[in-house]
């Protein structure tokens, strides 16, 4: 095996171990996968919606 191939396989193995660690120790439960997938797919729409809600809340707090 060439040196570059063995280096690639070592990196691939390290990345696979890292991905396994991420998958086995989830930050969020699997029940919110649909929500996180939607946010990831529609990130600009989510960002604009949150900006709108935040600005409305800040305006209401300011006038209250």
All residues at 6 or more sequence positions from 39 whose CB lies less than 8 Å from its CB, including other chains? 46
2-61 pLDDT tens trace: 779 999 999 999 999 999 988 888 888 889 999 999 999 999 999 999 999 999 999 999
Q: Return d(Cα 27, Cα 56) in angstroms, integer.
A: 30
> Domain boundaries in the chain?
3-63
Q: Return d(Cα 41, Cα 33) in angstroms, integer.
A: 12
- pTM confidence score: 0.54
Q: What is the DSSP letter of 15?
A: H
């Amino acid at each position: 095996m060439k040196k570059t191939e063995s280096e690639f396989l070592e990196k691939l193995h390290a990345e696979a171990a890292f991905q396994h660690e991420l998958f086995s120790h989830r930050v969020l439960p699997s029940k919110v996968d649909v929500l996180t997938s939607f946010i990831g797919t529609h990130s600009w729409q989510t960002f604009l919606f949150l900006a709108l809600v935040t600005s409305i809340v800040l305006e209401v707090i300011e006038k209250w």
